Structures are given as C-alpha cells and as structure tokens.
C-alpha cells in the first residue's frame, strides 16, 4: 500500500485585479497578476475504501457547515476524468482564512488534482489536469502550478511569469465578504488592456508597475466591510510600500523592503489587533 501523499495548498495573492464588463455567461473578464506565498493549507492523501474528508486546523470550524467541499468535488471530477472509483481519505489542515481572497478553497482543489493522481498512480497530462481544474472554478487553474502567473478570461487563462521574491504581510480583519456580492456592487472597471512588462528588474520595479494598477473589487468590498479599509491604512502606517486587497477580499497585503521589516510590521499589527489574522510571508 502506498504511503501518504502530502501537498501544500499555497495561498494565492492577487497583486492587482482589473475587471471588464460582465459576460453573457455571468462571469467578468479579468486581468490579474497572481503570486503564491510560502505557506498554505496542508493536505494528506491516503488509500481508503471510499472517499472521505476530515478537516482540522485554525479555520476548520468555518467549513463545518459546508456540505460539498471543493476537495471532494475535485476528487470526484478527477475520478471521472481518469475513469476510476473515487477512493481516498483526505485530511485537510485549514491554515488559511475561508472566503478571504487568498484562493484557499481553489488551492485545496488544485492540491487534490496534484496529490490524488500520485496516490492512485494514474497518468494525467497537464492539459487534462487544467481542463478538470477549469471546471471546478475560475481560480483553480492558476493554483494547480502555484507559480506566479498572469491571469485572463474569467481567470482560467494562465500564463506563467517571472517576478522577484516579495516580502509581505497578509492581514485579514476577521470579516468575510462573498465574491458574488462584491461583484454585484462593482461599478468602476479598469478593463483588461493592461500589458505585462517583459521583465521586472527587481521588487522596486514591480511595485512601480503595481502603482499604476489597482484592485477593482476593493471599493465595493470596503463598502460591505469597512474593516478592510482599516487593514489597508494599518499596513501603510507600518511602512508598506504598497497596501492592497487581494482578490474579492477581505484579506489585504502589504509589500515590505525585506523579511525583517515584514516580520516587525506583522508583530506590531498583531499586538494592536488581536482579533485579526496576521501573517508575514515570502511570495513569488
């Protein structure tokens, strides 16, 4: 019997996110530059007679009422694609806030599409894996490789890009905002005409590029949860070169000069906002 397979579902951070007009299928065309942190949820895959999921970790309680976790949906979709029975036990350690703009559920699903083929010893081409991922959600394809990428379409068109290592602090002010509700409030759209530079010489060049971009979902999310703005103000006050919301929120990030500056800011924020989730990390 093969031993357990371990995967990390790394947090996805949208450095910017521009929206176009709503499409006929209900989605919006998007442009975004996404990077991935050096930490995330943990998943362990083991052989079993049936498909099951157990969840622990700091944010496991937020999933208690979820009837059909994306991990299970990914497992069933993968089984259907590979024409086999969906048999495995998956243990999910939920370290990332739920519904937080960090792609946590999508990253969990993507990790499942990486881990189960290894457990089941089935061959799956990158093209087939991406097709399964696209059917699970807009953020799942970019999370499969979990490398920095330019996202277009509704998020499913992914082009890997090279970005310098970034030292950042992630802050979730303890509020959840539903993606659908944020998009429903969206009024100002920057469109999808942003052009990606051929390269970024260093993190300073990337920050300058990002200053000419934005997250179109930030203002509607703040209207729903003003604590998001408080998180942005707090990050800026702690010396962030750039503070912005990730995805549809409510998690915000601040970019800092180095790891020491990020760690110092994270400690200061955690001390003054005990109910917030705060994490210093490296992303690329």
Question: Which residues, in sequence order, are bridge partners of residue 157?
Answer: 152
The structure tokens listed for 124 are 């799956």
> 184, 194, 120: which is closest to 152 by C-alpha?
194
Active site residue 139: yes
**Backbone torsions φ then ψ of 230, nearest 5 degrees:** -60, -40
Kindly report whether the peptide bond that precedes residue 225 is cis, defined as omega within 30 degrees of 0: no
| Catalytic annotation present for 68 | no
* H-only helix segments in the chain: 70-82, 104-120, 126-136, 140-145, 179-184, 203-211, 218-224, 227-237, 259-272
Gyration radius (Cα) of the chain, Å: 19
Pairwise CA distance, residues 135 & 140, whole Å: 9
Catalytic residue among 12, 91, 94, 279: 12
Unique residue bearing structure tokens 């990030």:
253
Helix (H) or strand (E) holding 18, with range, is: strand 5-22
Given the residues 108, 139, 216, 279, select the one marked as catalytic.
139
Give me the active site residues, please: 12, 139
């Amino acid at each position: 019997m093969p031993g357990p397979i371990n995967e990390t579902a790394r947090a996805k951070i949208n450095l910017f996110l521009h929206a176009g007009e709503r499409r006929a299928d209900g989605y919006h065309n998007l442009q975004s530059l996404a990077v991935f942190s050096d930490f995330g949820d943990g998943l362990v895959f083991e052989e079993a007679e049936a498909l099951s999921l157990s969840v622990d970790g700091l944010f496991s309680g937020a999933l208690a009422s979820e009837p059909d976790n994306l991990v299970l949906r990914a497992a069933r979709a993968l089984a259907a694609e590979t024409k086999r029975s969906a048999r495995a036990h998956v243990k999910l350690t939920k370290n990332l806030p739920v519904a937080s703009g960090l792609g946590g559920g999508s990253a969990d699903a993507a990790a499942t599409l990486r881990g189960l083929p290894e457990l089941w010893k089935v061959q799956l081409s990158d093209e087939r894996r991406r097709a399964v991922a696209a059917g699970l959600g807009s953020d799942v394809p970019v999370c499969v490789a979990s490398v920095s990428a330019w996202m277009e379409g509704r998020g499913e068109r992914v082009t890997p890009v090279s970005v310098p290592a970034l030292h950042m602090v992630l802050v979730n002010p303890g509020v959840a905002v539903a993606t659908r509700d944020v998009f429903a409030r969206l009024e100002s759209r920057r469109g999808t005409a942003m052009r990606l530079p051929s390269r970024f010489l260093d993190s300073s060049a990337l920050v300058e590029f990002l200053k000419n971009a934005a997250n179109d979902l930030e203002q509607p999310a703040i209207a729903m949860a003003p604590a998001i703005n408080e998180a942005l103000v707090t990050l800026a006050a702690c010396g962030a070169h750039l503070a912005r919301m990730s995805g549809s929120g409510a998690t915000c990030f601040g970019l800092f000069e180095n790891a020491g500056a990020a760690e110092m800011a994270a400690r200061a924020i955690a001390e003054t906002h005990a109910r917030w989730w705060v994490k210093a990390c490296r992303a690329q």
